[in-house]
Amino acid sequence: MRIFQRVFVTVSFMMSIAICRGDEGMWLFNNLPRKLLNEKHGFDPSEEWAEHIMLSSVRFSSGGSASFVSSDGLVLTNHHVAADTLHKLSTPEFNYYDKGFLATGHEHELKAPDLELNQLVSIEDVTARVNAAVTAEMGPEKANKARQAAMAKIEQASLDETGLRSDVITLFGGAKYHLYRYQKYTDVRLVWAPESAMAFFGGDMDNFEYPRYCLDVALFRVYENGKPAVVEHFLKWSDAGPADGELVFVSGNPGSTDRALTTDAVKTLRDHSLPFYLNYLCRLEVAIQQFSQQGPEFRRRGNDDLFGVQNSRKAVVGMVQGLQDPKFVAEKAEREAELLKELNARPELQHFAKAWQRIAEVQPETVKLLRGGVEFRERYYEIAEQLVLMAEEDEKPSEDRFKEYRSSGRESLEHELFSPAPIYDDLEIARFTVQLSMFVEQRGGDDPLVVAALAGKNPHERVTELITQSQLNQVDFRRELAKGGVEAVRKSTDPMIQFFRILEPECRRVRERRESLEETERQAYAQIDDARVAAQGISGYPDATFTLRLAFGVVKGYQEHGQEVAPWTTLGGAFDHEVVHEVREPWVLPKKWHDARKLIAVDIPLNFVSTADIIGGNSGSPVINRAGEFVGIIFDSNIQGLTADYMYEDQVARAVSVHAGGIREALRNIYGAKELAEQLGK
């Protein structure tokens, strides 16, 4: 399960969940449900326990979660979270993604070209400071700018004071704002990864299914001053793992959830945003498949993109199916009606009822902006956009800039912008052609902006011209443009820079209008949260924001089609799974596994499931027991869990993990990495 971050759908807003079912909840580390855990599971996490877990957890800039698992900087995540780096390190001569990698010593560990890891070290409530910037007479556009300026000042002051990455996070729909401070690691090196055939055993056919038999893991190491970092907080290792029915915790960075959307907003998602995104994914999947079929080198270049798109497409199909179930919308509408009835019955609370109407009123324009947006997720275009906007935004005070161009985030922006990772023109042409074609379709071929963008050519011809004649794939060229500032960018003859400058006014108009609508929704959702607390005395956890949360659940099997599904699979079961599928792709185990079969303890668990509440972004999250020990790592959910973005369900929905014992056994007896295996947890 990967978080496909760069999407065409509008990011949702966050507010509290009124009723938590089962083990539902993605809880803030500064507001853990201690009473609930104590009453339901007889466990009261101490402040020291929570702080240790928080400091042992890591976020990957490429989208995913991880944890420190040794005192000398070892970081464990999923193979599919590591895939972006594995592909960037690979060459036509050696494919680390397919063949795997093992460093035989520190000197052989491979430095990632542009990876940034974030360790959350503190959380501070800055709600009062943010809200003080907004007054009642401000309209949405002015209020949004004032709020963003206040957040920028807080972030910059924190960076100046501490030197730590500082992000103000919007929670509970704008009812709360928290300042998250992160220790950043940018010298990150690959230590070990298994073959993709084992990490993704069963391929797209088994994806989001269970039972699973995947070793979806990879090890990195963080460095400071050229040496392995000395890490105080890391997770001890439990080879035994969890027992059936045992309470476990998941510490990770869930991407975004929409559980608190109003019924009107959910219908927009169901009828417009998700279908639009699904159409894009399906078309992009076909284009990358056709590209990859041209030969082995084309397949290597396209593999990471293809996996990501297929994974997202399958996930979105599951989401759409969940939202298209009439019972889901009916239940949400019924709960809304009950709350509104209670508000309207109490004169002192009636003013809250207007919040739902304000959200309903912005939906038509949200749909309009979706269809007429100017957003392309292609590397040349992204670089051009960053260079142009960075130069233009730098002419303003930091607090007046778009969020990603504030001074407080400059180091992370430049780390990505000046990445030496390879860019493959032929793959970029295939991807960009799909996106430009959709742009023409959505706005119409006679639209003046479309006419200017195409410059008399069809989408494929125009894309080919833009990419093959651009120099933005050269890091030194990018640095010189950035150094020259707004004057250099405006004088640049690079075709992709010129292309973005044609689109820039519309990009700004759409973005500013969208942010104004978001401010309207933000204020409305904050009022809905206040209304729920005032009427029902209920508040819980905020929707996910790709920031650190703690979830919990129990290891537990389930019933499917009248059959009992056991919570465990084993190393030996992987060989049986291969045979059942007649040793055909994608059910072919790597040669190393067959060579080592007699050395493997076949009854050691490989994968297991739990009721923990997860979504995309939780990939790579450590699974932890009460003692704070590492017992597994999240890598997927089953198909029934794909509606978790909108609702939690624990009858058959499950989080799928790789077992700690299986990881250590594979390192020792399959991959010949006994020394590395012994470092885990020490």
Instruction: Kindly tell me if the per-residue pLDDT of 10 is higher than 50.
Output: no
Instruction: Kindly tell me if the per-residue pLDDT of 344 is higher than 50.
Output: yes
Residue 210 contacts residue 656 (beta carbons within 8 Å): yes
Instruction: Kindly tell me if the per-residue pLDDT of 362 is higher than 60.
Output: yes
- The mean pLDDT of the chain is 93
What is the model's pTM?
A: 0.90
Domains defined for the chain, CATH in brackets: 34-116+186-259+543-679 (2.40.10.120)
Question: Measured between alpha carbons, how far is 87 from 635 in angstroms, rounded to an integer?
Answer: 19
What is the tens place of the pLDDT at every residue in 229-288? 999 999 999 999 999 999 999 999 999 998 889 999 999 999 999 999 999 999 999 999
Spacing of C-alpha 374 from chain mean position: 22
Cis peptide before 364, with omega less than 30 degrees from 0?
A: no
Structure confidence at residue 388 (pLDDT): 98
Question: Measured between alpha carbons, how far is 506 from 444 in angstroms, rounded to an integer?
Answer: 15
Cis peptide before 448, with omega less than 30 degrees from 0?
A: no
Instruction: Kindly tell me if the per-residue pLDDT of 20 is higher than 70.
Output: no
Question: Measured between alpha carbons, how far is 552 from 623 in angstroms, rounded to an integer?
Answer: 9
216 HSE (CA, 13 A, CB side) = 31
Instruction: Kindly tell me if the per-residue pLDDT of 537 is higher than 80.
Output: no
Longest dimension (CA), the chain: 75
Share of the chain above pLDDT 70, in %: 96
Question: Radius of gyration over alpha carbons of the chain, in Å?
Answer: 25
If pLDDT is split at 50, 70 and 90, which confidence band does 16 have? very low
Which of 478, 473, 451 lies closest to 462 in space, CA to CA?
451
Backbone angles phi and psi of 634, in degrees to 5: -65, 135
Question: Measured between alpha carbons, how far is 254 from 122 in angstroms, rounded to an integer?
Answer: 18
Q: For strands 247-252 and 188-193, give the pairing.
A: unpaired
Structure confidence at residue 21 (pLDDT): 63
Instruction: Kindly tell me if the per-residue pLDDT of 641 is higher than 50.
Output: yes
DSSP string, 283-322: HHHHHHHHHHTT-HHHHHHHHHHHHHHHHHHHHHHHHHHH
Question: Cβ neighbours of residue 316 under 8 Å, at least 6 residues apart?
Answer: 274, 277, 278, 281
Which of 336, 560, 378, 582 lies closest to 466 in space, CA to CA?
378
Cis peptide before 296, with omega less than 30 degrees from 0?
A: no
If pLDDT is split at 50, 70 and 90, which confidence band does 2 have? very low
Out of 25-34, 148-157, 456-465, 528-537, least confident range: 528-537
Q: Interior CA angle at 676 toward 675 and 679, to 5°?
A: 95
If pLDDT is split at 50, 70 and 90, which confidence band does 529 have? confident
Question: Measured between alpha carbons, how far is 253 from 619 in angstroms, rounded to an integer?
Answer: 8
Listed in sequence order, the DSSP H helices in 93-200 are 96-99, 127-131, 140-162, 196-199
Amino acid 203 reads G
Give mean pLDDT, residues 66-75.
98
If pLDDT is split at 50, 70 and 90, which confidence band does 456 have? very high
Amino acid 476 reads D
Instruction: Kindly tell me if the per-residue pLDDT of 346 is higher than 70.
Output: yes
If pLDDT is split at 50, 70 and 90, which confidence band does 172 have? confident
What is the tens place of the pLDDT at every residue in 406-450? 999 999 999 999 999 999 999 999 999 999 999 999 999 999 999
If pLDDT is split at 50, 70 and 90, which confidence band does 486 have? very high
